[in-house]
């Protein structure tokens, strides 16, 4: 019994040490962002602020607020559209398989893994020709298209778990393709929609490469603005830290409130069902 207890203490010690390391960035973000500029110095990074000062949040908010709005204008339509298209594809590819559908699905999945650098130059040329370069709609289109493989994969795996007998029964009752989708698949996949939406929301919010190459100035999403804030010559890193926390807040809140679904999305997107 004592041996058991010792191994438990050891396990806790390892976990605690790791947890401290994992949380240290959070500590630095919070402590630094609450300091006034005079108190920010390299040698006192780990020290608590003398008082709580929200002025860096004010500054960061002034800088980032328009870009935060851009991110919301981008993320909400892009998430909804890619979830809807993913559900439609997933339905066909799981319940209406045809000769070659598996191959088409694999060809589609490949799009999820490509480095986006390999499509970036033509994409920008294309967006320029259709006048969507440097617009939120251009980014929405981009994220919907390149989100298709993952949303299709998630819904396909999700729908594969709905028994075929249910579909057969509905067919016997006279339901067609659309009826089955509307009255059986969609109601049964509300959780699926939540999982996919959370996944897409987080990914599109956090994305940087498309954001920095497709938009400049006024239409830039928040991550580009945050990078500009930290890349600028003024080293007010209390403002940088406050900005980082503000920019991360929406996805962090989603994780805190709906973490279970976030992890399900992670597993659904990586482990084939």
Partner 1 sequence: MAGKTVRRRRITRDQWTAAAFLAPSLILIAVFVYGFISWTGYVSFSNWNTLTPDFSFAGLSNYLYLFSDFRFQADLRNTLFFTLFFIGMVIVLGMGTAILLDQKLKGESIFRNIFLFPMALSFVVTGVVWQWLLNPSTGFNQFLGVFGIQPRWYTDTNILAGFQWGAIEFGLPVAILAVVIAAVWQMTGFSLAMYLAGLRGIPEELREAARVDGASEGQVYRRVVIPMLMPITVSVVIIMAHISLKIFDLVYAMTGSGANFVTDVPGVYMFETTFRGNYYAQGAAIAIIMLVLVAVFIVPYLWYNRKGENR
CB of 190 to partner 1, least distance (A): 19
Task: Tell me if 137 contacts partner 1 by CB under 8 A.
Answer: no
Q: How many CB atoms lie within 10 A of CB 233?
A: 4
Task: Tell me if 240 contacts partner 1 by CB under 8 A.
Answer: yes
Q: Which of residues 83-102 bind partner 1 (CB under 8 A)?
A: 85, 88-89, 91-93, 96, 98, 102
Task: Tell me if 209 contacts partner 1 by CB under 8 A.
Answer: yes
Residue 193's SS3 state is helix
CB of 258 to partner 1, least distance (A): 10
Task: Tell me if 14 contacts partner 1 by CB under 8 A.
Answer: yes
Q: Which stretch binds partner 1 (CB under 8 A): 55-63, 115-123, 130-138, 183-191?
A: 115-123
Applying CB under 8 A, which of residues 48, 62, 65, 114 lies at the interface with partner 1? 114
Residues in the chain: 273
Task: Tell me if 58 contacts partner 1 by CB under 8 A.
Answer: no
Q: Which stretch binds partner 1 (CB under 8 A): 49-57, 58-66, 189-197, 259-267?
A: 259-267
Task: Tell me if 45 contacts partner 1 by CB under 8 A.
Answer: yes
* Contact partners, residue 239, CB within 8 Å, separation at least 6: 56, 59, 60, 63, 229
Task: Tell me if 119 contacts partner 1 by CB under 8 A.
Answer: yes
Applying CB under 8 A, which of residues 149, 150, 154, 193 lies at the interface with partner 1? 149
Please name the residue that has the structure tokens 């851009």.
70
Task: Tell me if 182 contacts partner 1 by CB under 8 A.
Answer: no
Q: Considering CB under 8 A, how many residues would be counted as binding partner 1?
A: 89
Task: Tell me if 106 contacts partner 1 by CB under 8 A.
Answer: yes
- Single out the residue of 167, 162, 123, 115 nearest to residue 145, CA to CA: 123
Q: Compute the distance between CA of residue 33 and CA of residue 37 in angstroms, rounded to an integer.
A: 9
Angle between helices 136-160 and 101-113 (to 10 degrees): 130
C-alpha 41 chain-centroid distance: 33
Q: Which stretch binds partner 1 (CB under 8 A): 52-60, 131-139, 173-181, 184-192?
A: 173-181
Q: Which of residues 188-207 bind partner 1 (CB under 8 A)?
A: 202, 205-207
Please report, for residues 72, 75, 139, 140, 145, the alpha-carbon distance to residue 127 in angstroms, rounded to integers and kept in the order given.
Answer: 21, 19, 9, 11, 13
Quick one: tokens of 206? 């956090």
Q: Got the DSSP string for 242-267? A: HHHHHHHHHHHHHHHHHHHHHHHHHH
């Amino acid at each position: 019994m004592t041996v058991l207890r010792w191994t438990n203490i050891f396990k806790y010690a390892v976990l605690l040490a790791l947890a401290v390391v994992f949380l240290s960035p959070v500590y630095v973000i919070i402590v630094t962002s609450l300091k006034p500029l005079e108190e920010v110095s390299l040698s006192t990074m780990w020290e608590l602020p003398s008082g709580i000062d929200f002025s860096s949040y004010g500054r960061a908010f002034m800088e980032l607020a328009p870009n935060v709005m851009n991110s919301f204008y981008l993320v909400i339509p892009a998430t909804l559209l890619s979830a809807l298209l993913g559900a439609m594809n997933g339905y066909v590819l799981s319940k209406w398989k045809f000769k070659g559908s598996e191959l088409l699905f694999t060809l589609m999945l490949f799009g999820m893994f490509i480095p986006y650098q390999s499509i970036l130059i033509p994409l920008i040329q294309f967006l320029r020709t259709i006048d969507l370069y440097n617009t939120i709609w251009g980014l929405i289109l981009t994220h919907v298209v390149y989100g298709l493989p993952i949303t299709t994969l998630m819904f396909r795996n999700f729908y594969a778990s709905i028994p075929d007998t249910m579909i057969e029964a509905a067919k016997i009752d006279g339901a067609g393709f659309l009826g089955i989708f509307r009255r059986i698949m969609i109601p049964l996949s509300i959780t699926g929609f939540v999982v996919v939406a959370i996944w897409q929301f987080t990914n599109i919010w956090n994305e940087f490469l498309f954001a920095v190459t497709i938009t400049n100035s006024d239409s830039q999403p928040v991550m580009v603005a945050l990078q500009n804030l930290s890349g600028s010559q003024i080293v007010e890193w209390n403002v940088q830290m406050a900005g980082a926390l503000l920019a991360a807040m929406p996805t962090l809140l989603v994780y805190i409130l709906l973490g279970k679904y976030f992890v399900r999305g992670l597993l659904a997107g990586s482990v084939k069902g």
